[in-house]
Every structure is written in structure tokens, then in C-alpha cells.
Structure 1
């Protein structure tokens, strides 16, 4: 016995069609369709061909394979016109900087072939911006069981050099210079940037904008563990105070 009946029942479920509505599409009686679905009767070959072609499903698959929901969702059917439009998921392949590739990235990040050969993370992100993934390999952006830990994955959006002046203070960036890659909160100070780690034991750094090869603003985080509940109010207040401190410092530098 074929899997035709089970498959058309799944098609109806995915497309939200009643037995009556489905039967009318193919000039069948509802009782006949019910018999197909329950395995009490096998359809004529013309009926199989008609239904398979309508949903753009190979006849062999209709008869011998149990179709999955994912397979069926690839096709968007206009039931009034009978036209079938293939539906494609919008997925982006994002080059990933892993810990053991950091040194090579510093040497060859300008080489498009090297970037294309990096391992990729595929995500349903399609905003047209250039993205980079980065695997955390230290505790420098962690604090009090919070923050970013080794094997967490950061997805950063590239900030072009001409937009460095639009940099958002206190946001986390992947900072690529000639000789190192850092994950830091970044603050503007005239033509310099202050790089600050969340871990109390790491000193902040000051670098000129000219030293920066690439700057990627953190947009997404994929945690390697379930983060503990955060006190967002306190973090927002601390972030605000840090930003006000930087503004005050900037006024003294002028």
C-alpha cells in the first residue's frame, strides 16, 4: 500500500484545507478522498498525477515517501489560480572568526578568498548589511556570572570608517586592529576610542581611529548556556552613568 493517503492528509493539514475543499480542487467526492486518506482505496494514476503536479511534488515521493512539513512549506500555492510559487527562506551565510583562526584573520582579512573560506553560520537574517560572527574565547566581557563567556557567539554588523563618528557609546564592538582582535565596549573621545572590558581585572585601552582596520557592532548573541536573569534596570543605569562620565571627560579634553 502506498503512502499517498497519508501524504494528502498532511498536505491538507499544512495548507489548512478541509476534505471538501481539497476534493473540489480535483473533482473528487469527499467520501472518495476520505477513503484515500484512510487507506481503504487507492486512487487512479490520473488522480495521482494531477495532485502531484498541482503541488509540484514528485510522483515517486507522493507514493513511497512520508512527506515532511518542511518539504511542503517550500511551496506556496495560489488555490484560485492554481499557480505554484516556490518559497525560499531568506538565509544569510555569515563568516565566523573562531579562536584558532584569529591570527590568520589578522593577516588575511583583506583577502576575499580567505573570507569566503571561513566557516559560516547560516541564519535567517537578510538586512543587506555585511555581518561577521565571532566566537568568544575568554572572560574579558563577563562580570558577576553575567555577560559573555567562552563559546558564546557574537554577530556583528560592520560600521564603515566614514561612520565612526556615529558610533554608539557603551555598545559592544568586535574591534580589529593590525595585531589583535578585541571584544569591548567602545566610547568616543575626540579622535580616539576608549575600549573597556566588563571584567574588573582588565584595564581599558585608548587607540586612535587610524589603528582600527574593522569595527563590527554587536547585533545578536547566541549563548552557549542559558544566561541567568539580568537586572536590566541596574545595567541601564550603569550604562547611562558611564556615558555621562565619558561626556564629562570629553569636555575636559577640549
Structure 2
């Protein structure tokens, strides 16, 4: 059963468009929109793709999902993923690390136990035990001040509806691969997530909820890049460093005496 007619009508009204508005954008007669919404006619593929873009929906959602009754498809209860988890001899969960070079392979291998066993594993203290964690190595500079090579520790998020706008997440997506971004949740409005880089030189972009395979909320990071004190307070001058060195030398002298 196709839900196309009802979905076009519902989403068009939700976006505040008249039939004429939509017809103008598609460069067709208004009567064709009426026919689509009444189920008297169905759009050709090229027109259907345009309709999906205007209504900010996927073709599959338009055809196979009752949006008015069930809500956006991306917000529906997703099938529980069976996560491949490694454990030590004490049956304590390890954190599996996905290095930069393995991120492409992870898209195909994240559900394959043999693939996951080949990835590095480690423990971190003080993480709450009720969550499952995974680590991802960053590439690039889109999330400065975190630099390339920083390792993000993420807690598994089961449902997309649990994504909280403004927080940072590692998303494993069919369309963009493995990405670490600040995420804004617009799934209820248009079935999409809005991804923003902390580095303002990178433009924000959207991903459809249906394209998201895994979500990991950032909980900690590991980096070899130490914070620069000069970022938050005045940098020490050579004179200051010289005075500090003299004080240390004086303290050492007193200890020897």
C-alpha cells in the first residue's frame, strides 16, 4: 500500500504551502497536485524526487510510511542493534578503538564480530558502567580546538529521539561515513539532523535520519595536545620565565643547604 497521496497532502500543509505554491515549484498545473493528493494520479520518478526535496522527505518515507499517523520515519522505534562488544577475562567490557584508517571499513564491519575483534581495545577508569562505549580517532580540523588524532570516547545512543540538540556526537552514516559534529535534532520537523563544526570555516550540513547507522554521544577525549595557557590568560614573557627559573634555583639551593 502506498501512502504517497496522504503524505504529499500532509507535508505540504505542514510546510504552509498551497497547492499552487507547490505546482509553481514543480512547474506543473495545480490540478496535477490535486490529482496526486486525491490518489487519482501518481508523479513520474523525476517529479517524485522533486516533491521529496520540496517536502524534505525521502522517497521511501513518502511511499511506504504513514507520516500523519505514525510521525516521521526517523523517529520510529529502530530495531535494536546487536552491538559487537569485546570483554576481558573478568567479563568487563573493553572500549573498541576505530582508528582513522579503519573508519571506512567500519561502515561495513561494525556488525561483524571478526572485523571488530581486529580493532584495538582498551579500558578507561571512572566511566559509568551502565553504558557501552566506543572510541573514534578524529581526522581533520573541523572540530577545533580538538585536533586531528584526538580520540573521542562515545556512549552508545539507542534511539535517534535521544539526541539532544547542541551536544557533540560521533555519527556513523551511510551518506557521510563516520563524522564527529555538534548535532541539532530536527527529526520531528523534517526527519533530518543538522550537523555543525566547531571550526567556523566549515559549513553546516544535514543528514537524513534514515541514513544514520549508529550514534555515540561524546563523553571524554584523549589527546596529546596540551591546552595552551596563553589561550585564556596573558602569556608569560621571557622576563617572567627568567624570574621563575631564579626562584626554582634558589629553592633548590636552600634544600641542599
TM-score normalised according to structure 2 size: 0.50
1:184 corresponds in structure 2 to: 181
**Separation of aligned partners in 2, 1:116 and 1:126:** 23
- 1:131 aligned onto 2:137: no
Structure 1 CA distance, aligned partners of 2:208 and 2:146? 26
- State which of 169, 175, 189 in structure 1 corresponds to 2:165: 169
Structure 1 regions of 5+ residues with no counterpart? 1-87, 232-254
- Report the Cα offset of residue 89 of structure 1: 9.2
Paired residues for 1:191-206 under 5 Å: 191-206=191-206
Q: What do the CA deviations read for 1:103-137 (whole angstroms, capped 9, x no partner)?
A: 11011112122222211122123513111101112
2:105 aligned counterpart, secondary structure: helix
Q: Which has the higher strand share?
A: 1
Q: Deviations over 1:126-184 (max 9, x none)?
A: 51311110111210101xxxx210121110001012xx222111111001112411110
3-state SS in 2 of match to 1:202? coil
Structure whose alpha-carbon radius of gyration is higher = 1
Matched residue SS, 2:153: strand
Which residues of 2 match residues 61-210 of structure 1 at below 5 A?
92-124=93-125, 125=127, 127-142=129-144, 147-161=145-159, 164-179=160-175, 180-189=177-186, 190=189, 191-210=191-210
1:123 match: secondary structure: coil
* Gapped regions of structure 2 (runs ≥ 5): 1-88, 233-257
| Residues in 2 aligned to 1:119 and 1:98: alpha-carbon distance in whole angstroms | 8
Q: How many corresponding residue pairs?
A: 138
Relative contact order (alpha carbons < 8 A, sep ≥ 6): 1 or 2 greater?
2
